[in-house]
Chains A and B, each alone.
Chain A
């Protein structure tokens, strides 16, 4: 059970893939971090990207978001071939991401982190700043309204004027998601959004992700916590040694011997070894 086509055969409601990667490879000095991974991410669904450590999940996310170039393979957003496009161009197509280790804009306030998020603002042009101040002001005001709404929804409103660098680890995770949401994404890549987060917050983040799905956002999340995957993810892509090992629903994958050996089994082994 490998390859991109599997997903379609096992999904009861067929969905158009909004993000597709075909045979992506990436080697770091001979080590193949991603070695021909192919998968589709269906539109408007939450897809989990799981696999043992070193399977190439984060590298895949980095390549998909443009933070890293791949050696070969293709990446498509809708019908657009975006292989090896730089981050900012991919982001402008509506693909936003968060990072495994939070990358907050530390010198900015929480509110400014969100205000900085929308791409291609009028006020980023000097001509507009000096000759069309009304336009800049109007847009800025609209962004501020929206940013405060997002902050309220994510429970960060009270912290809006704090420096982002002063936030706690969990708050930074929330801020990253809020910032990505502020940029009105079509596709959201979340790299371990629950890592290092307490159970109450995990539940909260999970509900935020479900809200995003309800709003029509396509989510691809790297996640180790299988309970979370079971609860909120519609589909699962299993990566192992840089390849797509299997795709499908988690319940189906539990029956897959290869997957159990590569990932689930390893987790159980690690658990029993402790």
Chain B
């Protein structure tokens, strides 16, 4: 029971991180990143190969194998996703916008998936990485059962840290500039905003979060393979964000709780229906789809809508309550 609960808690925190990363790209800067899960995978794989020992004699094929300790490997995994995002952004963001960008990115997600699935010597192909050392398990003498609650807490601490960082970014002028670009690229450019550069920044921040979220996944389960990041998984993160509330980190948390934890992972613990193996899982995906559609139809702003006016809260606006209102028809002397 403890195992189940903490597994759910872990996924709650992990998808909270993933949703925050997608939010800075999609919710704030308006980048329709349909390859998001690809960046999660890059983070997971690199976190894995940074932690795993050299591949000789392990029965797996992978690059690097540096045997680095946690959380250094996790951090590097996040940076790897960021580097990948940098290359992708250089190629795609300069020329493409909106739907066209989305089409290219979903294609990228498919190509990346096929590439990793078939190119065995990179990340062990379809078998994926396994036996990734559990962080602190040896030094803290954790059993498999006590590792799960422990690591769920680690994920919780990391997600809180990342939440603090993200809130600060979104409240800062940089967040406002992201939203300006999201609302109208042409107008933002006319105000001197370098749209490409700003979108690149948002892409990099979001991909770092994706990489960290992916890195935590592989550290939690000890393994990661292509079935975990089918291109469609991107839309689970979108569902988390849209149900919770685009543009709001609390919304990302609520979405992670409702969609990822309650709708996707909780039913996995239900007993199988006799004679219909896997039925619950399939049914589950349908439920997520229906919930997403209902939300878009009836409450597109999400359960926790984005707040208006998040910047300039230095009390300057409030000091002037007594200032005389300018009459609508007053005409200053020409």
- Cβ-defined partner of A210 (8 Å) among B182, B312, B334: B334
How far, in whole Å, are A183 and B191 apart by their CA atoms in the complex?
A: 7
How far, in whole Å, are A190 and B201 apart by their CA atoms in the complex?
A: 31
Given A105-B184, A124-B174, A210-B334, verify A137-B312 contact (CB < 8 Å): no
Residue pair B177, A124 in contact (C-beta under 8 Å): yes
Question: In the complex, what residue of chain B is closest to A161 when comparing beta carbons?
Answer: B309
Residue pair B312, A115 in contact (C-beta under 8 Å): yes
Give the residue among B180, B247, B334 with the most A Cβ atoms within 10 A. B334
Residue pair B192, A120 in contact (C-beta under 8 Å): yes
Residue A140 lies at the interface, judged by CB distance under 8 Å to chain B: yes
Interface string of B146-178 (1 = CB under 8 A from A): 000000000000000000010011001110110
- Cβ-defined partner of A115 (8 Å) among B173, B183, B184, B331: B173
- Cβ-defined partner of A157 (8 Å) among B168, B193, B323, B332: B323
Residues of A contacting B180 with CB < 8 Å? 105, 108, 116
Residue pair B168, A130 in contact (C-beta under 8 Å): yes
Residues of A contacting B173 with CB < 8 Å? 115-116, 121-124, 129, 136, 140
> Can you offer 23 A-B residue contacts whose CB atoms are under 8 A?
A66-B189, A66-B190, A87-B190, A92-B192, A96-B191, A105-B179, A107-B179, A108-B308, A109-B309, A118-B192, A122-B173, A124-B173, A126-B205, A130-B165, A136-B172, A140-B173, A141-B316, A144-B314, A161-B308, A163-B308, A200-B329, A207-B333, A211-B332
Residue pair B309, A97 in contact (C-beta under 8 Å): no
Residue A145 lies at the interface, judged by CB distance under 8 Å to chain B: yes
Residue B274 lies at the interface, judged by CB distance under 8 Å to chain A: no
Interface string of B193-222 (1 = CB under 8 A from A): 111001001000100000000000000000
Residue B187 lies at the interface, judged by CB distance under 8 Å to chain A: yes
How far, in whole Å, are A204 and B189 apart by their CA atoms in the complex?
A: 27
Question: In the complex, what residue of chain B is closest to A102 when comparing beta carbons?
Answer: B187
Residue pair B192, A111 in contact (C-beta under 8 Å): no
How far, in whole Å, are A137 and B174 apart by their CA atoms in the complex?
A: 13
Residue pair B190, A155 in contact (C-beta under 8 Å): no
Given A67-B186, A116-B180, verify A207-B309 contact (CB < 8 Å): no
Residue pair B176, A108 in contact (C-beta under 8 Å): yes
Given A88-B195, A116-B188, verify A129-B309 contact (CB < 8 Å): no
Question: In the complex, what residue of chain B is closest to A93 when comparing beta carbons?
Answer: B192
Residue pair B325, A157 in contact (C-beta under 8 Å): yes
Given contacts A107-B306, A207-B334, A208-B332, 6 further A-B contacts (CB under 8 A): A66-B189, A88-B192, A91-B191, A96-B190, A155-B327, A210-B334
Give the shortest distance, in Å, between A246 (CB) and chain B (any CB): 27
Give the residue among A92, A116, A179 with the most B Cβ atoms within 10 A. A116
- Cβ-defined partner of B192 (8 Å) among A91, A108, A112, A143: A91
Residue A196 lies at the interface, judged by CB distance under 8 Å to chain B: no
How far, in whole Å, are A206 and B334 apart by their CA atoms in the complex?
A: 8
Residue pair B323, A155 in contact (C-beta under 8 Å): no
Give the residue among A91, A108, A145 with the most B Cβ atoms within 10 A. A108
Residue A266 lies at the interface, judged by CB distance under 8 Å to chain B: no
Residue pair A183, B192 in contact (C-beta under 8 Å): yes
Residue pair A207, B332 in contact (C-beta under 8 Å): yes
Residue pair A125, B309 in contact (C-beta under 8 Å): no
Residue pair A141, B314 in contact (C-beta under 8 Å): yes
Residue pair B192, A137 in contact (C-beta under 8 Å): no
